[in-house]
Every structure is written in structure tokens, then in C-alpha cells.
């Protein structure tokens, strides 16, 4: 069998690309080395609860076309992401807003909150931040930094904030309204039947082979063009070295209780709690099941062979990625796409936009 496109990876990028090309009459084969489709947005059903296996995923976008696009494949609910943060025995709303400030300082008005923050920033007197700690204090003052940023960031990066460069944090938005909606986007929600069904619908009528590693079958499949959504450095056998990532470890547990924490996302911001957050999956879909499933999320150092999550886009890795891109440009009939192929953190809406623009480039 001869294919127009071999698509490596049944994640969001691969599924959107395959769908669009199939709609245009092209013959596509999608392969994935995992046992399931949907890549990192995979949700598995446990007792009627959709569990986000590779980390909590909330769909949000300001792009109306992308919102209409995903709504063709699933129905979204009205979920609004409003995480809370636990620091010792204190609990605060996120993102940093008037609910947070009011609880922290017992104040009511934006003027009072601004006055406290500005006073703390003035007192710290940081002009040229030498590290992440100084940068954060310069932006939000000492209280918000100490309680809500310091320990969490330290766990995320596995290093003290004084040892991290200032540029990691460019902005720390402060909201002087009583608004707990984490995202500023116009459209937001969670698929009522989980993300896996959405991707299943995208892949309807397309040949998909699971548990199929590209490197084991590359010589057996005849395709004009390969769209590769795995890690770009792996494709080239790491000849120039390994790109680095931050990784995550998930500890998932089913609990015999109806409601464990009352919210889908609870961040743990103190350094002495080893996990960064606990996800209670049923709250993403307003589940009423008698049991619940929670996931503790730990941030971890990435080693080759482990699941890569967040690319480390520092100058060293960006330079290495650029060199791999140069190798990629010399190949005929090969496209690199998605978060691993392009070594970039993409939200889901951006990955869809990127796949659709890749489809457009194929029309030329
Ligand atoms: P993937 O989903 O990783 O798909 C790539 C696929 O390629 C995988 O299934 C893999 O098995 C397969 N593959 C790799 N190598 C091979 C090979 N050699 N042979 C065969 N198959 C191979 N975005 C949001 O919009 N909202 C969120 O709330 C959000 N939360 C996130 C939370 C976390 C912890 C992370 C890490 C990301 C989050 N994202 C979120 C981003 C979202 O996960 C990505 O946008 C999306 O998953 C990218 O899809 P992809 O197709 O590029 O990659």
C-alpha cells in the first residue's frame, strides 16, 4: 500500500493534520508507539470519571475559528479554570486577584491592595534583579512571592529561586478585580466525553496503527511525505546531543469519597510539600460519582528515556534545536510538527493552528 502521508504520532497535531488531509482526498496512515490515541491529551475513563493521564488539560482560546473547529468534534462544557493555592494552613484564590489579596491582608479595595504591594516593592528596593527571586519581588512584593511563588517555583525547577535566572519570569499579572478565572481567553471548556473521544472523532475513517514505533517500521512503510511529531533529536539519532526537558511524575489514586478537595486544581505552594498540585479529575466535568480520582503531580528532572514534558528553551537548547532544524531542512518529504517535533511548548489551540497552517503549506 502506498500512502500520501505517514503521520508519526496520534496526538493533536497528527490527528488534525490527518483529518484535514483525508478530507482533501489524501491517503494517510497514522502510527503511534503508545497503546492509545490522543497523545498527551489522552483521557481514560475510571468509574465514569475522565482522568487526564498526562496532566490536567483545559481547553482555552481566543481564536474563534479554532473554537469552532474543535466544537465540530466534541461538545465542550462550561468549565472555568479557577485553581486555588494551599500554603501551610492558608488557602488562596488564583490567579493573584482581589480574592487573594483580601484573604492575605484583610483588605477590600484595589487601592488598598495596590498600596500594600507598592510599599513592599519599594521597601525591597530592587532595581536590577540578579535572579528569579529578586525579579518576582520586584513585580509582586514580598508576601505574594513568599507564599505563592517561592516554594512552587523551586519545586518546578528543582532549584532555589535565588539560583534561577531572572528572565524565567517576565511578567506576573496581578488582577485588581474579584475574578478567579485563570485564563483571559474568550472561549474555555472541557470536552464532556473526554479528549480521547474528540481525537477518535478526528481520526474517524483513517487507518491508525498503535504500538507501532516509527524507528522499527520506517523501512516497511511507503509514503510520499512523513509528518513526524516525536522528538526531533531522536529522529536524528541524537547525533548533535540531547535536547533537555523538564519532566513530571504523576501519582493517581482512586478514593472512596465523593469529593476530596472541592476543586479540580489545587496548587501546593510550600516547598516542604513534595508535589506541586493535586488534580481531582471529576470536577472538570462536574461529576457526581460516589467515588473520586485524584492525581498528585511532581515536577522532576528529565533524563533521556523518560517522558519529555516541558522543553527548556534556554539559549543552549535553542541553539541545539536550531542545528537540528538545519538537518531537517536538508531532508526531502519530511515535516516536523507538534510540541516535540518543534521543541516548543504549545497550548492545544496553538498546536491545532500550527497543524492547520502546515496543511495550508501542503496545498502550495
Ligand atoms: P503529543 O500529544 O505528545 O503527541 C505526539 C505523539 O507522538 C505521542 O502520542 C507519541 O507517543 C508519538 N510518538 C513519538 N515518537 C514516536 C515514534 N518514534 N513512533 C510512533 N509514535 C511516536 N494545553 C492546553 O491548551 N491547555 C492545558 O491545560 C494544557 N496542559 C498541559 C499540561 C501539561 C503537563 C503539558 C506537558 C502540556 C499541557 N498542554 C496544555 C499542552 C498540550 O499537551 C499540547 O498542546 C499537546 O498535547 C501537543 O500535541 P502534539 O500532537 O504536539 O504532541
Q: Which of 1, 17, 4, 3 is nearest to 336 (CA)?
A: 17
Q: What structural domains does the chain harbor? A: 2-75+188-240+313-363 (3.40.50.720), 96-168 (no CATH)
- Name the residue at shortest CA distance from atom 49 of ligand 1: 12
C-beta 52 within 6 A of ligand 1:
no
With contact defined as beta carbons under 8 Å apart, do 280 and 258 qualify?
no
Ramachandran angles phi, psi of 331, nearest 5°: -90, 145
- pLDDT computed for residue 140 by the predictor: 97
Q: What is the mean pLDDT of residues 177-190?
A: 97
| 336-350 residue pLDDT tens | 999 999 999 999 999
- pLDDT computed for residue 306 by the predictor: 87
C-beta 53 within 6 A of ligand 1:
no
Q: Would you give the DSSP letter of residue 191?
A: B
C-beta 38 within 6 A of ligand 1:
no
CB count, 10 Å around CB of 249? Answer: 13
With contact defined as beta carbons under 8 Å apart, do 61 and 269 qualify?
no
Q: What is the mean pLDDT of residues 244-248?
A: 93
Cα dist. 60→11, 81, 195, 210, 328 in Å? 18, 9, 13, 29, 31
Q: Which of 2, 29, 6 is nearest to 205 (CA)?
A: 29
- Name the residue at shortest CA distance from atom 43 of ligand 1: 40
Cα 258 from Cα 175, distance rounded (Å)? 33
| pLDDT higher than 80, residue 142 | yes
Place of cell 480520582: 293
Q: If pLDDT is split at 50, 70 and 90, which confidence band does 363 have?
A: confident
Q: Which residues pair with 87 in a beta bridge?
A: 90
Ligand 1 pocket test, pick from 202, 306, 339, 341 with the greatest ligand atom count within 8 Å of Cβ, gives: 339
Q: Which atom of ligand 1 is nearest to the CA of 34?
A: 11
Give, rounded to a whole angstrom, the gap between the first and last alpha carbons of the chain: 25
With contact defined as beta carbons under 8 Å apart, do 87 and 93 qualify?
no
Ligand 1 pocket test, pick from 6, 10, 11, 245 with the greatest ligand atom count within 8 Å of Cβ, gives: 11
Q: What is the DSSP string of 250-270?
A: EEEEEESSS-SSSSSEEEE-S
Q: Which residues are catalytic?
A: 171, 175, 246, 277, 297, 345, 347
Q: What is the DSSP string of 103-171?
A: HHH---SHHHHHHHHHHHHHHHT-SS--SHHHHHHHHH-HHHIIIIIHHHHHHHHTS-GGGS-GGG-S-
Q: 3-class secondary structure for 72-117? A: CCCCECCCCCCCEEEECCEEEECCCCHHHHHHHHCCCCHHHHHHHH
How many angstroms does the Cα of residue 100 sit away from the middle of ligand 1? 32
With contact defined as beta carbons under 8 Å apart, do 32 and 9 qualify?
yes
C-beta 41 within 6 A of ligand 1:
yes
| pLDDT higher than 90, residue 113 | yes
- pLDDT computed for residue 283 by the predictor: 98
| pLDDT higher than 80, residue 364 | no
Omega cis (within 30) before 95: yes
The set of residues, in sequence order, having a beta carbon less than 8 Å from that of 254 and lying 6+ positions away, is 46, 47, 291, 292, 293
How many angstroms does the Cα of residue 74 sit away from the middle of ligand 1? 19
C-beta 343 within 6 A of ligand 1:
no
Cα 122 from Cα 139, distance rounded (Å)? 11
Mean pLDDT score of the chain:
96
How many angstroms does the Cα of residue 86 sit away from the middle of ligand 1? 28
- pLDDT computed for residue 273 by the predictor: 98
With contact defined as beta carbons under 8 Å apart, do 282 and 289 qualify?
yes
- pLDDT computed for residue 214 by the predictor: 98
Instruction: Say if strands 28-31 and 207-209 run parallel, antiparallel, or are unpaired.
Output: parallel
Complex ipTM tops 0.95: yes
| 313-328 residue pLDDT tens | 888 999 999 999 999 9
| pLDDT higher than 90, residue 147 | yes
C-beta 308 within 6 A of ligand 1:
no
Q: Which contiguous run of DSSP H or E holds residue 293?
A: strand 292-301
How many angstroms does the Cα of residue 339 sit away from the middle of ligand 1? 6
C-beta 339 within 6 A of ligand 1:
yes
How many angstroms does the Cα of residue 257 sit away from the middle of ligand 1? 31
| 92-103 residue pLDDT tens | 999 999 999 999
Amino acid at each position: 500500500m502506498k500512502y500520501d502521508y505517514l503521520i508519526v504520532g496520534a496526538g493533536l497535531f497528527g490527528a488534525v493534520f490527518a483529518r484535514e488531509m483525508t478530507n482533501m482526498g489524501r491517503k494517510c496512515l497514522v502510527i503511534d508507539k503508545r497503546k492509545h490515541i490522543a497523545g498527551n491529551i489522552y483521557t481514560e475513563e475510571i468509574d465514569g470519571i475522565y482522568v487526564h493521564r498526562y496532566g490536567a488539560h483545559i481547553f482555552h482560546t481566543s481564536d474563534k475559528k479554532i473554537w469552532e473547529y474543535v466544537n465540530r468534534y466534541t461538545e465542550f462544557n462550561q468549565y472555568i479554570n479557577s485553581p486555588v493555592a494551599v500554603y501551610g494552613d492558608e488557602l488562596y484564590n488564583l490567579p493573584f486577584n482581589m480574592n487573594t489579596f483580601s484573604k492575605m491582608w484583610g483588605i477590600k479595595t484595589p487601592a488598598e491592595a495596590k498600596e500594600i504591594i507598592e510599599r513592599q516593592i519599594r521597601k525591597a528596593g530592587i532595581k536590577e534583579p540578579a535572579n528569579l527571586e529578586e525579579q518576582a519581588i520586584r513585580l509582586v512584593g514580598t508576601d505574594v512571592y513568599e507564599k505563592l511563588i517561592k516554594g512552587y517555583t523551586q519545586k518546578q525547577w528543582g532549584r532555589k529561586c535565588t539560583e534561577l535566572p531572572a528572565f524565567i519570569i517576565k511578567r506576573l499579572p496581578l488582577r485588581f478585580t474579584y475574578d478567579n478565572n485563570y485564563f483571559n481567553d474568550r472561549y474555555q471548556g472541557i470536552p464532556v466525553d473526554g479528549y480521547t473521544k474528540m481525537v477518535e472523532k478526528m481520526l474517524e475513517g483513517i487507518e491508525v496503527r498503535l504500538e507501532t514505533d516509527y524507528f522499527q517500521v520506517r523501512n516497511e512503510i511507503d509514503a510520499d511525505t512523513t509528518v513526524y511529531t516525536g522528538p526531533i533529536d531522536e529522529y536524528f539519532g541524537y547525533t548533535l546531543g540531547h535536547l533537555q526537558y523538564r519532566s513530571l511524575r504523576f501519582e493517581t489514586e482512586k478514593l472512596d469519597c465523593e469529593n476530596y478537595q472541592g476543586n479540580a486544581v489545587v496548587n501546593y505552594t510550600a516547598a516542604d510539600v513534595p508535589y506541586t498540585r493535586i488534580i481531582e479529575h471529576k470536577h472538570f466535568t462536574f461529576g457526581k460519582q460516589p467515588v473520586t480520582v485524584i492525581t498528585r503531580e511532581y515536577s522532576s528532572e528529565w533524563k533521556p528515556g523518560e517522558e519529555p514534558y516541558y522543553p527548556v528553551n534556554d539559549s543552549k537548547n535553542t541553539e541545539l534545536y536550531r542545528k537540528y532544524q538545519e538537518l531537517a531542512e536538508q531532508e526531502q518529504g519530511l515535516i516536523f510538527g507538534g510540541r516535540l517535533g518543534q521543541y516548543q511548548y504549545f497550548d492545544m489551540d496553538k498546536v491545532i493552528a500550527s497543524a492547520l497552517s502546515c496543511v495550508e503549506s501542503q496545498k502550495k
